[in-house]
């Protein structure tokens, strides 16, 4: 049975490398995984005062999470941790506590950076938050895609052969992980 995977991209930038990599994951997805980006750019800041009377965009977003069978985070690292927009999207998805949209569904994380370390700090931060969100995360393979500019072909959107191979290996493992739930 085909499983729906909500892709959460931690950058709002139009030319985001993370979004490009997310789109490549969509292109490489095995038949049994349907990957779709769930947009987070319209989400207003989380505020506990309004969580029981939330704005429509929170509800629409949570519905997309609720409809998903699994989650794949693809994110940059900002100041050794994660972008605020991604953290905000995590909070909105998790609340109110009885309506945690992440709860119990499998997930995985990929971080992408022009830097050498490949967003290691952000990758770990997402795993840390996943404990509280209650997303059982795939442990291996870990995915730190560093020096991304060297991994894209001249068209600026297609990853090179070696990266494609790694991404397909990652997806194979993720498919097995998702099917365990
Ligand atoms: C960055 N960048 C960055 N890179 C990194 O590897 N580690 C870091 O801690 C940071 N910190 C950081 C903070 C802020 C505020 C910005 C704007 C950028 C660089 C970052 O990886 C680069 O801008 C990426 O291109 C961002 O990802 P997208 O938008 O291309 O997906």
Structure ipTM: 0.99
Distance CA 175, CA 30 (A): 8
Tell me, in angstroms, the distance from the centre of ligand 1 to residue 20's CA. Answer: 15
Greatest CA separation for the chain: 49
User: Is 61 close to ligand 1, i.e. is its CB under 6 Å away?
Assistant: no
Which residue's CA is the closest to the ligand 1 atom numbered 13?
78
Contact status, residue 75 vs residue 119, Cβ threshold 8 Å: yes
144 Cβ inside 6 Å of ligand 1: no
**pLDDT for 150-171, tens place per residue?**
999 999 999 999 999 999 999 9
> Rounded mean pLDDT of 31-59?
97
What pLDDT is attached to residue 75? 98
**CATH code linked to domain 3-179:** 3.40.50.360
pLDDT value at residue 5? 98
Question: Is the model's pLDDT at 70 over the cut of 90?
Answer: yes
Question: Is 1 a residue whose pLDDT tops 90?
Answer: no
DSSP secondary structure of 55-123: -HHHHHHHHHHHH-SEEEEEE--BTTB--HHHHHHHHHHH-SGGG-TTTT--EEEEEE-SSTTTTHHHH
Q: What is the pTM of this model?
A: 0.98
Sign of the four-CA dihedral 65, 67, 71, 74: negative
Q: Which residues, 6 or more positions from 135, have their beta carbon under 8 angstroms from its beta carbon? A: 71, 102, 103, 104, 105, 106, 107
Residue 29 CA to its chain's centroid (Å): 14
Contact 115, 81 (CB under 8 A): no
**Inter-axis angle of helices 84-94 and 120-133, nearest 10:** 10
Give nearest CA residue, ligand 1 atom 4: 77
Indicate which residue's Cα is closest to atom 10 of ligand 1: 78
Whether 119 is in the pocket of ligand 1, judged by its Cβ within 6 Å, is yes
88-140 residue pLDDT tens? 999 999 999 999 999 999 999 999 999 999 999 999 999 999 999 999 999 99
Whether the per-residue pLDDT at 142 is higher than 90: the answer is yes
| Domain ranges across the chain | 3-179
């Amino acid at each position: 049975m085909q499983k729906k995977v909500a892709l959460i991209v931690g950058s709002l930038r139009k030319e985001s490398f993370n979004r490009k990599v997310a789109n490549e994951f969509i292109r490489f997805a095995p038949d049994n995984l349907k990957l779709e980006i769930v947009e987070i750019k319209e989400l207003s800041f989380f505020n506990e005062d309004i969580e029981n009377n939330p704005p429509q965009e929170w509800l629409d977003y949570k519905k997309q999470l609720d409809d998903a069978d699994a989650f794949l985070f693809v994110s940059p690292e900002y100041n050794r941790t994660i972008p605020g927009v991604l953290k905000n999207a995590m909070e909105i998805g998790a609340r109110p506590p009885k309506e945690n949209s992440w709860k119990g569904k499998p997930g995985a994380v990929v971080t992408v950076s022009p830097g050498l370390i490949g967003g290691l700090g952000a990758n770990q931060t997402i795993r840390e938050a996943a404990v509280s969100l209650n997303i059982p995360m795939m442990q291996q393979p870990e995915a730190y895609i560093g020096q991304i500019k060297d991994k894209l072909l001249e068209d600026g959107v297609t990853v090179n052969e070696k990266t494609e191979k790694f991404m397909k290996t990652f997806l194979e493992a993720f498919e097995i992980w998702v099917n365990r739930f």
